[in-house]
Amino acid sequence: RQEAAEYYRSHRVPQRMEEALNALFPQRPADLYGELANYFSKFSKAPVICKLVGRRVLDGVGQPTLEVEIYCTVKNYEKRICSTVMSSHSQIPENALPETTEADEKERNDSVNTAVEWVNDSLSTMLRDLKPTDQCKVDEMLGEYFTKQAEFKKEIEKQEEEAAEVTLALTLCTPSATALPGGKKAAKPGKKVSATERMIPPAEPVESVLCGSLAIGATSLAIAKAGATISHIPLYLHIALLKHDQDLPKEMTVPLPMVTLLNCEKIPPAKLKLVKEVMLIPPVQLSLKQGIERVLGIQKEMTRLLESPGKVQSSPRLADSKKGKAHNTGKKAPPRALRRISHLGCLITGCDNLEQPLLLMQTACNNLGLELGTDVYLAINCAAHELMDYVKGKYEILTGMFKSPDEMVDMYVELINTFPFIIALIDPLRKEDRQQWNHICRALGSKCYLIAEDAATCISKLKTDQNRNIPMCSGVVLKYINQTKVSDLIELTGLLDGQRHITILGSPDGESSDDSLVDLAVGLGARFVKLGGLSRGERVTKYNRLLAIEEELAKNRTLR
């Protein structure tokens, strides 16, 4: 009894019990024991990480990806706090060869399996007993672990190269029965390289991705979610506090959505190759809810026009390009193939020229009494890096029609002058065509945003040297993939803000139902968010989260 009394006195239990009883008696709460539990919970130890669980799951397009669960010791009990599912991302273009796609799928499978091992073994042990609210320390340890793994891989590759050189040397030392002594094999006459090809900068090598690297990004984001949950605040507030050194901004903004309405396919009979996505941006004077409703109305009208192409009045070429006419029999025509939904959550259609999707969009808006450039704006994802023909040294913008980088600049200037309601061009050129990026920025920088998405390298390299890793542009699309950490995003968006660059948070092609990207965009103060279309559950759940955040900020009177 004396030991027990001393134990409780050393922890000030009698004193705090008396304080609790005195404080609660005047309130006479309906749930007395619940209120006592709340009172004493503030004296309990802070939750610490006890284990991480990684598992292989599927993303929105059926590709394998990684889920990370965080378990913490809370009031002496192990408790599951949260989980996050990493969005998968591929650098393979849509028109890639089948063998390239197969190799990418194998690499993705290996990476996910390795990531699961990292999480369940090394990372779970390494992060045990750390506070989930200590994001900086966790990210620092994750970064060190990733660096060690990258160095280990380089060492293995170096050993393999040395072994291959030894094997080659031994092979060359073996005399060949057919080789002539001192004879040199004549080079075969090959196809001459054109002057144009020599003039264009060669494609930079594809950024190598360390097998298992998505374990780093997934764990960092899961820790951030756990920190927000433990602190009883939304993730976007937790991110804002991390970015502003725990000094919460008095007001917060909701980023403008770039809503994908059309995905232009690049296979026959379609001729247009230049446009990958046509996106709508609602005006800033509308609330997000009003903007989404307006975009939905335009999407419905677009669907109607695509099903009945004869009804498009303002573009005869558009109507003529569709085969067949709708029958005036009073019966609804069956849905056409154009009604297909892309993995981006939008309508898929093929076009014959650059003006066709723009005139179609203009017709849909006119039919609803809306004016492009006033009531809604357009953005185009050109994805120019997928169009370069390196033999000709030119971009194939239409089937059989090629333009040099300088001609591309002239074409974009004419396009914006003809359609001034286009306020953003994403990846209008390859990242290697830096001279043309400078030209287009000087020509159009005051008229529209010129955004680098594929033209920007990975976030870790952007942090190191932005001037070297991105061409001259108005802003950058950042994607939370692979070894990206929350601290990396916070640091990079701070640098971009200081340079007055536009920050856009974009979702990868292989999106998951995890809506954390939206909280990241709001907490980091991104200007735009690029989430795809208003179809498919993994896309719509993010728009719903964005709407909920806007409502919450408005309710708290912190919405700017």
Which residues on neighbouring strands pair with residue 376, listed in sequence order?
372
Q: Pairing between strand 388-389 and 394-398? A: antiparallel
Q: Copy the structure tokens of residue 82.
A: 């949260």
Starting at the edge strand that comes first in sequence, how are the strands of the sheet with 77-85 ordered?
48-58, 64-74, 77-85
550, two tokens:
């806007």
The helix/strand count (H/E) of the chain reads as 19, 15
Give phi and psi for 427, each to the nearest 5: 50, 55
- In DSSP terms, 262 is beta-bridged to 278, 347
Cα gap 531→473, rounded to integer Å: 21
Contact 95, 276 (CB under 8 A): no
Name which of 443, 427, 352, 423 is nearest 395 in CA terms: 427
Q: What is the DSSP letter of 210?
A: -
* 3-state DSSP assignment of residue 158: helix
**Residue 105 corresponds to which tokens in the numbers above?**
């799928």
Q: Look at residues 361, 387, 385 and name the one whose alpha carbon lies nearest to residue 279.
A: 361
CA distance 302 to 291: 16
Nearest to 85 by CA among 71, 101, 70: 70
Distances (CA, A) of 304 to 153, 301, 312: 54, 5, 10
φ/ψ of 274, rounded to 5, equals -70, -40
C-beta neighbour count of 194 within 10 angstroms: 12
Q: Which helix (DSSP H) or strand (DSSP E) does residue 452 occupy?
A: strand 449-452
Q: What is the number of alpha carbons within 13 Å of residue 25 lying toward its C-beta?
A: 6
Active-site residue set: 482
User: What Å distances lie between residue 452 and 174, 237, 415, 479, 501, CA to CA?
Assistant: 52, 28, 19, 12, 11
Rg of the chain over all Cα atoms, to the nearest angstrom: 28
Q: What is the DSSP letter of 122?
A: I
Give the Cα separation of 236 and 242 in Å (integer).
Answer: 10
Q: Strand, coil or helix: what is 65?
A: strand
Q: Which residues of 434-451 are buried (b: 16+ CB within 10 A; e: fewer)?
A: bebbebbbeebeeebbbb
List, in sequence order, every residue forming a beta bridge with 349; answer none if it has no partner: 264
DSSP-assigned letter for residue 337:
G
Contact 70, 82 (CB under 8 A): yes
Pairing verdict, β 277-281 and 256-264: antiparallel
